[in-house]
Amino acid sequence: MSPVVRFAPSPTGHLHVGNARTALINWLFAKANGGEFILRFDDTDSVRSKEEYVEGIRTDLTWLGITWDREERQSTRLDRYNGVADDLKASGHLYACYETGDELDFKRKRLRAQHKAPIYDRAALTLSDDERAAYEAEGRKPHWRFKLSQSDVIWSDLVRGDSHYNTANVSDPVVIREDGTFLYLLPSVVDDIDYGVTHILRGEDHVTNGAVQLEMMDAVSPGARVIYGHVPLIAGSAGEGLSKRAGSLGLADLRDQHLEPLSVSSLLARLGSSEAIDVYVDLPAMIADFNISRFSRATAKFDAHDLEFLNAKVLHQMSYDEAAPRLAALVGDDAALAAHGEAFWLAVRGNLKNFDDASGWWSVCFSALAPSIEDTDFMAEAAKHLPDGSWSEETWGQWTGAVKAATGRKGKGLFLPLRMALTGLDHGPELKLLLPLIGRERVLKRVQGETA
């Protein structure tokens, strides 16, 4: 049976690398196994859910190369959830509670003072009809809790192996608020059943929820089951947690830094796994290599230095066909690109950390530049030996060989002054590749100290 997975963000904030990684893992798992990937917006929170976040999530996923086979929104399925809730109330799986927030907070504080876990005491289960009526007469509206079995729930986890959790260690979860709106648990379970979700891959902070959801799933549809894979969380470089509402390490921020999406996805696909951090050739290669069993149980850290390294590697292997449209937008010189674009890209790509860096090297090759010269006598001698005729990659070697013979200079003393005069920088692409692009006329003027 082909797997069906889902990524279910609540559109109450922007995606950060943590939840983007969850989306990527689900997508890779589906694609690697011929399955279906569902994008589901858990938007039952009408106050905090915003359309701008929906659009932002779509944009972020598309930027990473993640596509979805179908999109669903929980806000369109409230009648379905209400129907299931009515059935669970009738079967005794949901029960009404009348405590106020302050009363619940007092109970939790008292339990903590007694060094006990702040687990709900199920006092609502013992209320008489008269007591319920009295609360109703006060104007109280009930919230509804799911009654857990308070027993050990066992499952085999794709990452954690044989797993279990006793639901006596948690409070019966609130699934419906006093105003009748749903928290995420019940709608999520109903959707997973209705959409035929087979695998739920997510962060290990949901392990406890996993036990609760398995019990809830069995109550909604006896015998229904999913396969879990709880992957290790990732943290910032200092070990801090990530927050979508704080925008930490947001996908939009990474995109604004003009990072390559392949560098981001390559890092996220391997972060927390047994695989060494490296860049993939493309997304199909990433899919072919994906294996959920490679993830360990250790928290991984998102290091910006790893991303910088991978971003440079993506650029270093990028073909001219892929780079050409972006170069055209960057430099705005169609004629020069038609004549020199491919040679330019192959010359400079190995020195780029960010695609936009190509703009600076384009200026070095094709725009006026003030040379940096300290030894005018040396430059005058170098100018005398500048080769005539058409230039190629061999021209640099011919020229520097002649200058070396005439001046006795070699090594850094020979090459650095020429580089500074030609590019204004002490580092950069091989000059044998840049020289034909700069051209004889401009090279001559620069070594003579003229802006050209």
Long-range contacts of residues 372-378, Cβ cutoff 8 Å, at least 24 apart: 372/420, 372/421, 372/424, 373/417, 373/420, 373/421, 373/447, 373/449, 374/417, 374/420, 375/417, 376/449, 378/407, 378/409, 378/417
Q: In the prediction, which pLDDT does 238 show?
A: 65
> Helices in 3-161 by DSSP H: which ranges?
17-32, 51-64, 78-90, 101-113, 129-137
**Cβ atoms within 10 Å of 248's Cβ, excluding its own:** 18
Q: In the prediction, which pLDDT does 304 show?
A: 85
How do residues 351-374 score in pLDDT, each as one tens digit? 999 999 999 999 999 999 999 999
Q: In the prediction, which pLDDT does 245 show?
A: 46
Q: How far is CA 393 from the centre of its chain?
A: 41
Superfamily of domain 1-71+184-317: HUPs (3.40.50.620)
Q: What residues contact 99, with CB distance under 8 A and at least 6 apart?
A: 107, 123, 124
For residue 334, the one-letter residue type is: D
How do residues 171-221 score in pLDDT, each as one tens digit? 999 999 999 999 999 999 999 999 999 999 999 999 999 999 999 999 999
For the ranges 182-196, 227-241, 392-406, the lowest mean pLDDT is seen at 227-241
How do residues 320-350 score in pLDDT, each as one tens digit? 999 999 999 999 999 999 999 999 999 999 9
**Cβ atoms within 10 Å of 353's Cβ, excluding its own:** 13
Residue 266's pLDDT band, with cuts at 50, 70 and 90, is very high
What average pLDDT is seen over the chain? 94
Report whether pLDDT(246) > 50: no
Nearest-10 Cα torsion for 332, 336, 342, 344 = -90
**Considering the entire predicted model, what is its pTM?**
0.91
The stretch 10-16 carries a mean pLDDT of 93
How do residues 31-63 score in pLDDT, each as one tens digit? 999 999 999 999 998 889 999 999 999 999 999
Report whether pLDDT(79) > 80: yes
Q: What six digits make up the tokens of 195?
A: 């959409």
Domain assignments of the chain as residue spans, ordered by start: 1-71+184-317, 320-366, 376-447
Q: What percent of the chain has pLDDT over 90?
A: 90
Q: What percent of the chain has pLDDT over 70?
A: 97
How do residues 315-324 score in pLDDT, each as one tens digit? 999 999 999 9
Report whether pLDDT(248) > 60: no
Residue in 309, 319, 192, 324 with CA at minimum distance from that of residue 259: 309
Domain 376-447, CATH number (from 3.40.640.10, 1.10.10.350, 1.20.1250.20, 2.102.10.10): 1.10.10.350
